Amino acid sequence: MTERFTGNFTQQEPIPEDGIAAAMEVLRHGRLHRYNVAEGETSHTALLEQEFAALMGSKYALAVASGGYAIATALRAIGVGPGDRVLTNAFTLAPVPGAIASVGGVPVFVEVTEALTIDLDDLAAKVAAPDAPKVLLLSHMRGHICDMDWLMEITNAAGVTVIEDCAHTMGARWNGTLSGRHGVMAAYSTQTYKHANSGEGGLLISDDPDLMARAIVLSGSYMLYERHLAGPPPEAFERIKYVTPNISGRMDNLRAAILRPQLAKLDEQCGAWNARYRVVEEGLRNTPGLTLINRPEVEAYVMSSFQFLLLDWAEADVQQVMKKSADRGVELKWFGGAEPTGFTSRYDSWRYAQSPKLPQTDRVLKAVLDLRLPLTFSLEDCAMIGRIIRDEVSTRFQSGA
C-alpha cells in the first residue's frame, strides 16, 4: 500500500500557556505600545530585549517589527546609503536584497556552494577587486552556516564590515560561537516559521554602543531611549540623537509577551527541530540521485526546515518529483523556478538588483528542494516523509532522470 502523509506543513505549535497568559494581561490593561507603561512597570518589550541580549551573549539588543526591518536598520546604522554596494549571498530570501534596496544600496551577489553557503573563494575574489564593496550582509540561508572563521579572516583583511542575517540560525553555533556573534550587528526574525513565533517581529544585537544607539533612535524611540534595558549608555545617544532619523518600526508589548516564554525554552526547541531533521536525513541517506547537504562537525545547526539537492536533473524531472510527492501529501518547495512562487525566488527574480549570471549558483538553485519541519510533526511523521521522498526520487531516477 502506498503511504500518504496527512500532516500540515504550515501548522506551528500553539503559543505556550504562559505566553498566552502574559498576552491576555497586556490586552486587559491595554498598554500595547512599548513606551506606554504604568508607574513602576517595565514593558515586556524592554524585558525581552534584556533577556535576548543575555541569551545571545551580546551587550545590546533591540526588538523591532520584523526581521527585514532589523536588517535594514543595521544597514542604516553602519551608514549604508544610496548607491553603496553591499555584498550578499545569491541564495537567500527576498527580504535580504530587499533590505539593501530599501536604503538605496545595490546588492552584489556572491556565488553559493553545494553546501548552500556563501562561496568563500568567490567572496575573497570580490573583496580583492578594485573599488570592492565594504559591507557584507551575510545570510545564513535556511540554517546553513559557512566556515565563519575563514569568512572573518577574509573580511577583516579586506576591511569589510559584516552584518549577519540570522533569521534561520537563532541558537545555532559555529565552532562554539553563537550565530550572530561574528559580525558587528546581527538580525533575527520572529516571523511564524522561525525559531520563535510572534507572527511577525525581529531582533537586532550588537556590542557596539554607537551602532546600537543609532538603531534604537532609527526604530522610533523618540527621546525615550532610557527605557531600553539592553541599550547603550546615555552618552552614546548624545552623540547621535540630533542627526539620526526616526523610521518607526518598534515591536509592541503584545508580541514581546508572546515571545519571552518561547525564548526561555529555545535550547529545548532547537533540540526538537534537530531530532526531526536527523530522522529525515537518515531516511534519505544513500538515495540514488539525491545529494544530502554536508554538515561540518563544528557546525551546531538548528534546522526547522530540510533541504536536499537533485544535482543536474532536468527541470521536468525535478517538477515530477515535486508533483508525485505532493500527491502523497509532502510539500516540497523549489528554488530553481523561473518565476517566483510563494516565498521561493532566485537572484535573477529581483530585477531591481541587476546581476551578472552566476553559473555555480544557477546549478545549485536548479537542484535545491526544501520542506518545512514544524514541531507539530512527530519523529514518526518525519520518518514517513523521508520514505515518501526517497521513494519518489528513486522511482524517477531509475526511470532515467
* pLDDT tens digits for range 311-322: 999 999 999 999
Task: Express as a percent the part of the chain with pLDDT over 90.
Answer: 97
Q: Tell me the pLDDT tens digit for each residue of 274-288.
A: 999 999 999 999 999
pLDDT of residue 338: 87
Q: What is the pLDDT confidence band of residue 401, given thresholds at 50, 70 and 90?
A: low
| pTM for this model (two decimals) | 0.97
Q: Where are the domains of the chain?
A: 17-264, 266-398
Q: Which residues pair with 135 in a beta bridge?
A: 161
Q: Are 255 and 201 in contact (CB under 8 A)?
A: yes
Which residue reads 526616526 in cell numbers?
A: 246
pLDDT of residue 249: 98
Beta-strand relationship, 106-110 and 85-89: parallel
Q: What is the pLDDT confidence band of residue 56, given thresholds at 50, 70 and 90?
A: very high
At residue 188, φ and ψ (nearest 5 deg) are -130, 155
End-to-end CA, the chain:
25
CATH fold of 17-264: Aspartate Aminotransferase; domain 2 (3.40.640)
Alpha-carbon span 70 to 359, nearest angstrom: 31
Which DSSP symbol is given to 219? T
CATH fold of 266-398: Aspartate Aminotransferase, domain 1 (3.90.1150)
pLDDT of residue 108: 98
pLDDT at 85 over 80: yes
Q: Tell me the pLDDT tens digit for each residue of 136-185.
A: 999 999 999 999 999 999 999 999 999 999 999 999 999 999 999 999 99
Amino acid at 356: P
Please give the mean pLDDT across all residues of the chain: 97
10 Å CB burial of residue 275 (0-12, 13-18, 19+) is middle
pLDDT at 335 over 70: yes
Angle at 129 between CA 125 and CA 130, to 5 degrees: 175
Q: Which residues pair with 108 in a beta bridge?
A: 87
